[in-house]
Amino acid sequence: MALVTEIGKNLVDAEVGQRGFLLTGENSFLILFDDGKEQFTGNSQALKTRLEEDALEILSAMESRFENWLIQAAEPEIKLRKEYDQKPQSIADVAQILSRGDGKNRMDKIRITMSSLSSSLEADFRSQLKLAEENVAYTNRISIVVVVLSIFARSEERLVGKGCRSRW
């Protein structure tokens, strides 16, 4: 679950970096954006090795949506903002693209997918925990039976041993 939390943080970093750059034009926000992208990729790859098929499908859908957000919203908007910085005539084009809310809508879909992934993993965890608890209870019952049988066998051994000694 720690990787899922990290992936959520990576998404926020990428979005905050992108929006921060669009609003201010400061390159320091692009560092946050780039770090978020890079860490999202690394963390999602690491998580893939630990997921069951259902959760893996959800993660793949989230990766696809993230890639679409990058290609169709974030990067074009960043490019437009950079062009504005080179030729500061009017920021109306940047404002027009941002007012469509395309990037935000795409990121909202990613958040919904992220929530589905978290729910799926939580359900899997609860199921595994229940199974583990059942296994522990079963093992405890078996252990009790073995101990009782051992005590019974030891008592029987003593009785048989005493009976044999009294005859001699």
pLDDT category of residue 97 using cuts at 50, 70 and 90 = low
Q: Which of the pair, 124 or 27, is modelled with greater confidence?
A: 27
Task: State phi, psi for 104 to the nearest 5 degrees.
Answer: -65, -45
| 18/24 Cα distance (integer angstroms) | 10
Give the length of the chain.
Answer: 168
61 contact partners, CB below 8 Å, separation of at least 6: 113
Of the listed ranges 6-10, 60-64, 143-147, the least confidently predicted one is: 143-147
pLDDT category of residue 53 using cuts at 50, 70 and 90 = confident
